[in-house]
Structure 1
């Protein structure tokens, strides 16, 4: 059965990827197809799914800036959105009771309110996966979306504790002392070195110290993984740990998406109910956009954050399961919720992937909702006095900056969309601004002059460098453009749109190593 399930997952994932949808949508379809074929799910699939979610939240914690949750555009947006969406969904369900005579809608006001509350959540798993694939996890809109999702997770913990009748143990207060364990955890990771011991140490901390410890005191295990990951966010090798767990986490998440489709076989009435709930997703998106726009964010940032959250959450499945177990909700709603979540993923994926296209089409209308006062991180960009601009201040970008600073002095500037990298580079004495070169508005508000001689595109994602190169060409900026690439076909694509120098990292690294080795040999001979 396991071989058949893997075959289903690979087949449907490959097909959906070929037509432009994320493979995760294919995994959802594979779960339904596997269930429809009457096959029995392999033992341990739910355990794999839970492990994937736990590791995902642990990875989020490793990249979490707790200070971002204290910003009004995060905690206030999340609170206002939860209230507004719950009221809206409650009104929709009440209207459905009046318009349709289906037994599915025969529920009390309290049950209707619980269901509306569940539908107000968005999927953390799906949104983070989409943002990771797009390389926008650290973009401003990505950080706002993740912050809202984390706040929603905190609301979920409170609700589950209350509705399930499970009150946290008095020992849960001891978790307030977790920050005192941070030096011990840092030392443990250092002792693990690198390789498989480093990965196992990360798994031990995520599952043993985080998830299991929280479960023992009556709290949600996933919350424990998130918090313990957040404690490790300041660890110097936190990003290395996240990369080490990446493939393992991705594989486990396949089990999560497969398991959603295996909750049962839907009837036509259930399919219609799920489809109708998905038809109101645009209203949920509108609520997100209206709330986020209140804090001075530009139309593009608000739209992108809203589209990333345009889905229903797996939390709805948990709420439905609790309500069914308590006899409050009919068992059919568990399957309806699973179908609704799955369909919302299939709808949200192409919307998020084509967010830039949608923004261009709706730009004029969306700008009406922008406030007169602009968010500090959304200010216009003035690079008119710069001769060199480097977009992307990772290891390659910072290396290029330091090399060129010897020639251009202070007339060089870096552009980076991750606030922590901006702070780090500024501490190192580099002139870096916080901006997103994949943002259309960045190019519309960019001010340059004829002094600009060189632009280096050192962003990690090829599509980001391609987009920036296209904007330079479209705006008629007269300068030399150089970019990094990882594969020969990427070099060809960059050269086709006018990039003067496309640097193949793998090929050039090998030749650079050879030149350095030869220079070392010559020095040894002359010495």
Structure 2
């Protein structure tokens, strides 16, 4: 017990110290966790062999992460991603495998070993990439969604790859062991098993055979389909009654227990039928995405996901074999960089083919250029099945770990490139993949309130803004927004201007706002346009451009402040509210009337007709207030 508490203290202390420092330096939490693992492992040797066992437990953070991501995707959204899944994801795996296999063969490896290396290194790190995308608010960008599609495809591809790898064992010469020797030495066999156990999640690969072992192909298919169908049926028909039953206990911790039970049981079922636990959890999340208990599940699992993912990254850092690295550092580091460069070039080209441009293309290429945690699974499985020699496996494990360690630096490089693009005016708009009845152009302080109110009332909005920083902040708070200039006709068309019912214009740039109002009114004479105006003059311009409802940005807040003053001066709440209502109604009518007299080429103070009518309207307001006061006095008498 004392040893466990000591180890727990070491891991927690390393995370608590290293991660905030990395975050303060702008390096991100992932690099902080990896650095913490390196410090307590290879540097100070505070942890030992238990790291590998702990890593298997920490993998569950990846499963939870995919479950939570699934909760954010309804089945319709997943179906809309099918072209990205098959096109982007499938092409990336095939091309990366072919290129890396060719490089391995060029260095003298047999074709079977080379193919296994290519398949292993073609996969990227779901854990690191998705965590970083979430932290930086990039999941909702076109590049972020493309990255997610490829990662999901890779997770699915692990299943057929595990089934295919044993077929490559025939490529080793007869009698040759995985380490290249000829005789069957028991010590070498034991070493192979140890390498297998050291692999990332190898137990999952063996446990997955429990229900399908010995079955014919059609039997395996039926069992697999049955497992997936059971998840869907339970998610659709049984989760609501179970949640209501738990709710009757009035114990908050029971919600957490149920959330953990859902994820754990689904993961176990997937392993039993030979599927990826992460894939099963993702499927369950998609099924429950439309459930009214979705937010409960997210709230209960988020802390566990964060801690387990952090623990996973620490174990990756602690497991780096620095002895092997220092034995030939230039070669091994060069191999890791070569993997990143080759995959990055391929991804950059695929992104261009699929019309990713600018920042999205760089995010797609740099975000997926590393090897991933599933590579540990494939390496250990390749050793166990006699496909890959031990020496190659150890080097490959180190290359995978190093490439994962370099990943946060790639995201820092992306930030630098993105900033330079922004400064150079080369920002590429997001791909707008949804439409809604309400389009909000501009999401500053004013637009955010409008968006939150409309969404909270159950209506879908499409938010557009040309400021990347503003969009990033919105995404961090969970609001979907698209980067793009709302005044561009092509952006408006993609946002669904032809079918929208309401256009809300809250742009800071008054000239751009007028341009947008005029274009929208010309394109859609029937659309209702709600706008934000800076002052009365801006109101008149927008009114002439075709706006329906115009809100002066300081008007309503000023009225509320005036009402508070009246209350403090002795008026009752009702009297103050009535005075506010009268002033509001009179001012709206005055603005409508004065708009017809306003001339854009003459200053209001020089417009005689405008000034005279403004004076008359002010006298009418004063008269109306005097009449109201006299009426109140008569009632009291």
SS at match of 1:432: strand
Supply the distance in 2 between the matched residues of 1:128 and 1:199 (Cα, whole angstroms).
23
Q: Quick one: which of 382, 400, 404 aligns to 1:345?
A: 404
**What is the RMSD of the two structures over their aligned residues, measured on CA atoms?**
4.3
| TM-aligned CA distance change 1:177 to 1:74, over 3 Å | closer
Is residue 2:303 matched to residue 1:247? yes
Contact 1:52 1:252 in 2 (8 A): yes
CA shift for structure 1 position 338: 4.1
Contact 1:63 1:239 in 2 (8 A): no
Per-residue deviation, residues 472-514 of structure 1 (Å, max 9, x unmatched) = 6899989879xxxxxxxxxxxxxxxxxx99xxxxxxxxx9xxx
- Equivalences for 1:428-507 in 2 at 5 Å? 428=459, 432-433=462-463, 438=468, 442-443=483-484, 446-447=487-488, 455=506
Partner of 1:175: 227
Q: Quick one: which of 134, 138, 141 aligns to 1:139?
A: 141
CA shift for structure 1 position 200: 1.5
Contact 2:434 2:462 in 1 (8 A): no
| TM-aligned CA distance change 1:476 to 1:111, over 3 Å | same
Supply the distance in 2 between the matched residues of 1:191 and 1:219 (Cα, whole angstroms).
31
SS at match of 2:106: helix
Q: Quick one: which of 327, 337, 343 aligns to 1:279?
A: 337
Per-residue deviation, residues 149-183 of structure 1 (Å, max 9, x unmatched) = 11111101221244369766233231242222222
- Which range moved further: 270-279 or 233-242? 270-279
CA shift for structure 1 position 325: 2.6
Q: Quick one: which of 27, 31, 42 aligns to 2:37?
A: 31
- Equivalences for 1:189-338 in 2 at 5 Å? 189-193=243-247, 195-208=252-265, 210-263=266-319, 265-266=321-322, 267=324, 268-269=326-327, 271-280=329-338, 281-338=340-397
Per-residue deviation, residues 377-425 of structure 1 (Å, max 9, x unmatched) = 499xxx9xx8x74469999543455xxxxxxxxxxxxxxxxxxx7xx98
Supply the distance in 2 between the matched residues of 1:475 and 1:282 (Cα, whole angstroms).
45
Per-residue deviation, residues 238-258 of structure 1 (Å, max 9, x unmatched) = 244223311111011122112
- Which range moved further: 285-294 or 34-43? 34-43
SS at match of 2:292: coil
Supply the distance in 1 between the matched residues of 2:299 and 2:112 (Cα, whole angstroms).
44
Supply the distance in 1 between the matched residues of 2:447 and 2:382 (Cα, whole angstroms).
48
CA shift for structure 1 position 519: 7.7
Partner of 2:100: 89
Supply the distance in 2 between the matched residues of 1:173 and 1:453 (Cα, whole angstroms).
47
Supply the distance in 1 between the matched residues of 2:70 and 2:335 (Cα, whole angstroms).
32
Supply the distance in 2 between the matched residues of 1:282 and 1:362 (Cα, whole angstroms).
22
- Which range moved further: 215-224 or 35-44? 35-44
Partner of 2:239: 185
**How many residue pairs were aligned?**
428
Taking structure 1 as the reference length, the TM-score comes to: 0.69
| TM-aligned CA distance change 1:324 to 1:345, over 3 Å | same
CA shift for structure 1 position 336: 3.4
CA shift for structure 1 position 199: 1.8
The runs of 5 or more residues in structure 1 that have no matched partner are: 98-106, 402-420, 457-471, 482-499, 502-510, 512-517
CA shift for structure 1 position 286: 2.4
The runs of 5 or more residues in structure 2 that have no matched partner are: 1-6, 168-205, 213-218, 473-481, 490-502, 515-531, 535-552, 555-563, 565-571, 578-637
Per-residue deviation, residues 445-488 of structure 1 (Å, max 9, x unmatched) = 7449xxx99738xxxxxxxxxxxxxxx6899989879xxxxxxx
| TM-aligned CA distance change 1:313 to 1:436, over 3 Å | farther
Supply the distance in 1 between the matched residues of 2:273 and 2:314 (Cα, whole angstroms).
30
- Pick the structure with greater CA Rg: 2
